[in-house]
Structure 1
Amino acid sequence: MSNPWDVPPWPTRGDDDAEKTHAGIGGVISVWSVVESELSRLYTVFTDRYEDLEALMEFGDGTIFRTRFETLIQASTRYFIRCPNQAAEGDLHRISRLLLGFADRRNDIAHGVVTRVDSLGYFRERLDPAVRSHPNYMLLPPFHTRKKHDPNHGGPAYAYNYESMFELRKDLFTIAIYLRDYLNARLPPDLRDEWSAGVLEPTGK
């Protein structure tokens, strides 16, 4: 059974402008930053220091996401000992699987290289014949990342165009909204807040 964070299928069309591919990268990275911002706020709740600046920065001390997330999980364990809530613990476990899965896709985007693929034989044969005569740009793993290429034929583990990154951005935005709702449920009514109208929400391609 597939997972929502699995690497998407290879596009059969690239972007006709490299700037559009770069825009897709920026959209994903921006929304991922919103996700981590919500996690930092949740960390301040778990440590009983809501929106305390030092607590926010404490969450950010980890140099990679998995380290920062483990800091959050440790804080949540202590929190639920103080404030038992099996349903909330179960919800956090489910969102944890999503976050760790999508973190890998975020890393694909952050460390990929925008490449014109229509002139490269390996990629050209995978393109829709109707677009082979036009520029086709995609985001690929750089060639020096061995683990991101097939050991047999050297093909890249992923390829994104703007459309596939837009879909990823929507998934991440859904997670950010869920985290905001989860955070608000841990707060008294006077401290709850909602999204500002249209903040980073993907509304069109």
Structure 2
Amino acid sequence: MKDDGSGHFNFVINFSQSKTKINSVLKMEKINGYDIPSKEEIKNEASRLEALAKNTIGISNVKTNIDLTNYIFTVDLDFQKITNLNAVFLKLKNSKKIDPTITTDYFTFADKKFIRNQKVPIKALYDKLKKTDKEVFENAKYTSVYKFDSTIKSFSNKKATPSKSNKAIKLNGSVINVINGNEKIENTITLN
């Protein structure tokens, strides 16, 4: 985040530790009742996501990278305002026909205060999954890093760790712990 409210967003999903299993799954037509996409269909979906983001006001420099050898997927983009980034999430939600009551205003930035919200009812969504689908989350980890032009004055999530320069903050954890409410991804970061 820059002081003027613009910024850069980088999102990475890394399935490299499961690549042997994914290669086996991709040879099937269905698993647990789900159709298995081909590598070409995965590439097409990434292109669709890239186009969706590119066609959002205030979003630029959109790039996706699909590594179908190691199964690492990356989305990079710049935003003029944090509301532009939230608009991308809203478009994605609407394109996937996700429950309209689920909000996508994950981030806010005003008056030198950056807020990461978690308004998605992830536990309720998780509880609706079949047992075999839930297993995917058992060993999943997440890392979030927020970088700023200004130094960090305070932050609300005490599991987060500020950098030596005090211009970045990192949060690591277990996805299943977030789902079960034992860890929080929310954070209110006040800048100097």
Shorter-chain-normalised TM-score: which range? under 0.3
| Larger Rg computed on CA atoms | 1
Q: Normalized per residue, which structure has more strand?
A: 2
Give the TM-score normalised by the residue count of structure 2.
0.28
Structure having the larger proportion of residues in helix: 1
Task: Tell me which of the two structures has the higher relative contact order, counting C-alpha pairs closer than 8 angstroms and 6 or more residues apart.
Answer: 1
TM-score by length of 1: 0.27
